Amino acid sequence: MARFVAVDPAQATSPAKELLDQVQAQLGITPNMMRTMANSPAVLQGYLSFSGALAGGELSVQLREQIALAVAEANSCEYCASAHTAIGKMVGLDDSNISTSLLSLSDDPKVDAALKFARTIVVNQGEVSDDQINHLCHAGYSDAQILEIIANVVLNIFTNYFNNIAQTVVDFPKVELTSKKVGIN
């Protein structure tokens, strides 16, 4: 059961109403995560600003979704795994890309390097080695792209923690976490 009430966009007042209207206009839906964030317009604005800035970066939308899936699994966030599975399909990821991304794996060596690095950031709480950074460079990532991988991980840690703590009601087709399927965690 959700710990916080998701704001009804029809009942919202400014500035939450303007932010929720913006979400609805951009996505065509107003997900429960953003409706819950709207209890604090500062939280919702912060999320939208950070997410919007990264959308204008160098990483493809597909890689950003794959990172989100890897981080969701690493943080046991069912809401984000479900949301990013749905969004991933909308941006061209197939079922195989999605299931392997949840495991921080890819058949594409460059994507695989990014997903493994993303999981390492989560598991090691931001501690990474020079070798891990060098591996990304050798995989073909520029300094800017490496920084964007880090930023995308951080954005997704925020949403994972937010949804895990809020116990946000999943309003996407529900995805069972891979770790729960095989008894990990």
Domain residue spans of the chain:
16-55, 61-164
Average pLDDT, the chain: 95
pLDDT category of residue 185 using cuts at 50, 70 and 90: very low
CATH 1.20.1290.10, domain 61-164, yes or no? yes
State both tokens at 163. 């949804």
How much of the chain, in percent, has pLDDT values that exceed 70? 96
Q: Which residues contact 135 (CB under 8 A, 6 or more apart)?
A: 113, 117
pTM given for the model: 0.94
pLDDT at 53 over 50: yes
Query: For residue 6, what is the DSSP state?
Result: P
Q: How many Å apart are CA 36 and CA 104, to the nearest integer?
A: 28
Average pLDDT over residues 141-167: 98
